[in-house]
Copies of this chain bind each other. A is one copy, B any other.
Amino acid sequence: MKLLEERILSEGTVAPGGIIKVDCFLNHRLDVALLNEIGAEFGRLFASDGVNKILTVEASGIGIACIAAQYFKTPDGGIPPVVFAKKSQSLNLSQDVWTSRVKSYTHGNENIIRVSKKYLGEGDRVLIIDDFLAAGNASLGLLDIIDKSGAVCAGVGICVEKGFQPGGRMLLDRGVKLRSLAIVQLDENGGIYFDHREE
């Protein structure tokens, strides 16, 4: 997505460890006009996938998912609800949540993410939306929860994929329909350029 690539080039920075910082428009200060462009693009890319629910994980994915939902229509003509998995340090799991363990790349810790069983289950065609795809742990955790619930993953929509980390390849190898709006690569000087996949 040209517009997102341009914003990454003009406003993004690269921190040590291959951290792509785009907190000025994507995950701390949110440019809601840009999120609408992103949401419209996801709507186009997954228009024929029968999406009736959008799933993300707190916190950065929530705003993007909510804006994107507006560009989808469920079979009954409504806006698909957004469900966000909650992170918790607590091991005190109740019986009525689907859970998965997720390692965080940027924090170096492990979270248990959880989704109430009431809000995900058989008959759901779920689009995963997130701001970043790097090692793929968050997406794998959400896929694990979708599998456990009996729902179907209709696809994964990512704003910024780090092309130099294995998450994208891993999802594609599992047969997931993955659409990343910007696939970032770093040259030897830490400069950003973009990869593009055939759809």
User: Which residues does A use to contact B, with CB under 8 Å?
Assistant: 23-25, 28-33, 35-36, 58-59, 62-63, 65-67, 69-70, 78-84, 86, 115-116, 118-119
The DSSP consensus for interface residues of chain A is: mixed
| Given known A58-B58, A59-B59, A59-B84, contact A66–B28 (CB-CB < 8 A) | no
CB distance from A120 to the nearest CB of B (A): 9
Say yes or no: B119 contacts A69, CB within 8 Å.
Answer: no
CA distance A69 to B35 in the complex (A): 11
3 closest Cβ contacts across the A-B interface? A58-B59, A63-B66, A59-B59
Q: Which residues of B contact A116 (CB under 8 A)?
A: 23, 28-29
| Given known A58-B58, A59-B84, contact A29–B119 (CB-CB < 8 A) | yes
Say yes or no: B63 contacts A28, CB within 8 Å.
Answer: no
CA distance A33 to B83 in the complex (A): 14
Q: Which residues of B contact A63 (CB under 8 A)?
A: 62-63, 65-66, 82, 84
Q: Which residues of B contact A30 (CB under 8 A)?
A: 62, 66, 81-84
A-B residue pairs in contact (CB < 8 Å), sample of 12: A24-B118, A28-B84, A29-B82, A30-B66, A30-B82, A30-B83, A32-B80, A35-B66, A59-B84, A62-B62, A63-B63, A66-B67
Say yes or no: B29 contacts A83, CB within 8 Å.
Answer: yes
Residue of chain B at shortest CB distance from A35: B66
CA distance A36 to B79 in the complex (A): 11
CA distance A84 to B31 in the complex (A): 12
CA distance A24 to B80 in the complex (A): 13
| Given known A63-B65, A65-B63, A67-B66, contact A81–B119 (CB-CB < 8 A) | no
Q: Which of A23, A28, A78, A119 has its CB near the most chain B CB atoms (within 10 A)?
A: A28
Residue of chain B at shortest CB distance from A70: B32
